[in-house]
Structure 1
Amino acid sequence: MRSDAFHRRRLLGLGLALSAGLLTGNAQAEGAKPARIGIIGAGNIGGTIGSLWVKGGHEVMFSSRHPEELKGLVEGLGPRAKAGTPAEAVAFGEAVLIAVPYKAYPDLSRDYGEALKGRVVIDAGNATQARDGDLYTEVKTNGIGATSAKYFPGARIVRAFNAANYKIFAKNAGRNAPRMAIPIAGDDEAALELARRLVSDAGFDPVLVGPLKDADRFAMGSAGFGHDLSAPELRQMLGLAP
């Protein structure tokens, strides 16, 4: 048993309605300073989670190589949402969510790896054999946490928001207790604290699974992937301390 000490279809209209206002500026309501979050990949996961963060009181820059294509998304979310290029999103965010196909990681590393050093990176990517080829093999051999760390050396990586389909996140964000649990894993304690806060402000309960190497326990294809569970249920399933 492990210790709990370590645990673009663009959505215009967002099908979220974001739970009809269930999220009402959490960061501000609790007196915490809103975070600045950059998002690389404003697709299904990036658009969904980023929108939840905006509704939770944070400042979010969604990015694209063609940021004008994001106009409808950001206008629908209000003044806390912005659009920019990936480079601008990296510079903007004290945390950066990476939500792109895993096969793009080598290119992201080449283009933005240096700028990501020292930043909190919320890594939501999954590797699939049909799409990602040799990278999938690398992940299967070395683990997804170690592989992400290889491509973004010096980044303070936390694996999160990868363990379910975006539709599940959109459906369950901010629901009445018990909230849906989001497994996370990372090695940097300060990065984990920020990730816990961002998971909570998106309308979920964070569950620390362990250090970054333990991200394999909720990677796509693992026993910990694809569940809609409360935090106690997820801890029990993964054999974590209550």
Structure 2
Amino acid sequence: MTPRSVETLGILGAGRLGTVLARLATSVGMRVLVASSGDPALIAPRMAAIGATAASMATVIAESDAVILALPLGEYRMLPAEALRGRLVIDAMNYWWASDGIRDDLADPRTSTSELVQAHLSGARVVKALSHMGYQDLEDEARPTASPDRKAIAIAGDDADAVATVASLVNDLGFDPVSAGPLANGIMLEPGAEAFGADVDATQLRSMLDGFWESQRGIIVARARG
């Protein structure tokens, strides 16, 4: 199976992560559309400077082959579920109490936060990716395919075709894709897990994921899930 290529990448969120991902994508020739929570005109000059285009959320969703969520996680219920129906959605969000507030629903170890996003976007194909490496490392560490010092990005998802497309995108952006398994395993990439913040190669990342259930965080998750 040849994964579908992403020619137009949409990004919802124009903060540090969204801007870095936009810059990486434009640098490898992708058309990139970016939406913020306000008027696109407010971010248009900044996006134009890196080769991306500011647009409304509706335009980003309608015209993109894949849409990255680079918003505060606490805002996920504001995402337009009907507009995203049938779309490939890449969840790059994480729970930060400082910005999201104290949210027991976002900190429940019985479910990954990407599963919450998928439940809200029931008609979309949600894949967890581009979330565990810091935005500065993402910007600094992108390398061409087969580079000896290339770093890795983990991917979790339930739809095999969607995961394959995201893996191809991750490779295009300059990183080796590593499968973390189903979307529920996205919890292995969240704050508190060893892989969160990891700036490592594919072998090291694979070892972190394989050892999750023996880690302190993994034991807590396993007990919560029964």
Question: In structure 2, what is the equivalent of residue 103 of structure 1?
Answer: 74
Aligned residue for 2:81, secondary structure, equals: helix
* Partners of 1:135 and 1:75 in 2: CA distance: 36
Is the contact between residue 53 and residue 202 of structure 1 (CA under 8 Å) also seen in structure 2?
Answer: yes
Q: Which of 42, 64, 69 is matched with 1:69 structurally?
A: 42
1:185 aligns with 2:143: no
For residues 63-212 of structure 1, the aligned pairs below 5 Å read: 63-64=35-36, 65-78=38-51, 81-108=52-79, 112-133=80-101, 135-140=103-108, 141-174=110-143, 176-212=147-183
Q: Indicate if the aligned counterparts of 2:6 and 2:66 stay in contact, CA closer than 8 A.
A: no
Alignment match, 2:219: none
Name the TM-score, length of structure 1 as normaliser. 0.78
**Partner Cα separation in structure 2 for residue 95 and residue 214 of structure 1:** 21
Decide whether the 8 Å contact of 1:123 with 1:159 is kept in 2.
Answer: yes
Q: Identity, % of aligned pairs?
A: 35
Structure 1: tracts of 5 or more residues without a match: 1-31
Structure 1 residue aligned with 2:217: none
**Aligned mates of 1:203, 1:215 — CA distance in 2:** 21
User: Any idea what the Cα deviations from partners look like across 1:10-52, whole Å, max 9, x if unmatched?
Assistant: xxxxxxxxxxxxxxxxxxxxxx965111110011111101111
Q: CA deviation at 1:114?
A: 0.6
Distance in 2, Cα, partners of 1:203 & 1:232: 16
Assess if the C-alpha contact under 8 Å between 1:161 and 1:182 holds in 2: yes
Cα displacement string for residues 143-202 of structure 1 (whole angstroms, at most 9, x for unaligned residues):
212111122111101101110221111111127423110011001111111101111111
Contact 1:224 1:238 (8 Å CA) reproduced: yes
CA distance in structure 2 between the partners assigned to 1:34 and 1:125 by the alignment: 20
1:25 aligned partner: none
Cα distance in 2 between the residues matched to 1:225 and 1:74: 28
Distance 1:126 1:189, change over 3 A: same
- 8 Å CA contact retained: 2:111, 2:187: no
RMSD of aligned C-alpha atoms?
A: 1.9
Q: Could you say which residue in structure 2 is the equivalent of 1:57?
A: 29
Q: How do 1:204-223 residues align onto structure 2 when only pairs under 5 Å count? A: 204-223=175-194
Structure 1 residue runs of 4 or more that deviate by more than 4 Å after TM superposition: none
Change (3 A) 1:46 1:136: farther
Aligned counterparts of 2:111 and 2:100: Cα–Cα separation in 1? 15
Match of 1:14 in 2: none
Asked whether the equivalents of residues 102 and 135 of structure 1 are also in contact (C-alpha less than 8 Å), the reply is no
Return the offset for 1:139: 4.1
- Call closer, same or farther: CA 1:92–1:231 in 2, change over 3 Å: same
Q: Distance in 2 between matches of 1:222 and 1:236?
A: 13
**TM-score, normalisation: structure 2:** 0.84
Pair 99,239 (structure 1): closer, same or farther in 2 beyond 3 Å: same
Higher relative contact order (CA 8 A, sep 6+): 1
Which residue identity is paired with 1:172? E
